[in-house]
Amino acid sequence: MATIEECRAALDKLSDSMGRAEGDVRAAASMERSVSCHVTDLDVTFAGRLTGGRIEVRETHPGPPREKAQIRLAMAGDDLLALVDGELHFARAWASGRVRLEAGLRDLFQLRKLL
């Protein structure tokens, strides 16, 4: 089972990758939105902002998200690590229910370029 530190490092790695993106991916990553990632098996939430093409985690707290972020992810820690490392395909994980993504319709259209 992934640790909180490994999950935080995975989010940092994802943020770094988004920061280096180009073209449509860069445009999608440049949205300004609140974001949360609930790691279900650890019952911890990373909350912050998608800003400047990066994810800025501003707080980590136990339990589900305290506030409704504009972009909300939920998954097990091992799935987060596998997604960021390219070992798990997002669309398959989402279709099977391993990953939950909630956002407004416009945001979902933009996010599909990232995922």
Measure the CA–CA gap between 12 and 35, rounded to whole angstroms.
14
pTM assigned to the model: 0.90
Nearest CA among 76, 48, 46 for reference residue 62: 46
Residue 110 has pLDDT above 90, yes or no: no
56 within 8 A of 32, measured Cβ to Cβ: no
Q: What is the mean pLDDT of residues 11-31?
A: 79
Strand partners, 75: 39, 99
Q: What is the pLDDT of residues 34-88, one digit of tens each?
A: 999 999 999 999 999 999 888 999 999 999 999 999 999 999 999 999 999 999 9
Contacts of 68 (CB under 8 A, 6+ apart): none
Coil, helix or strand for 48? strand
Mean pLDDT taken over the chain: 91
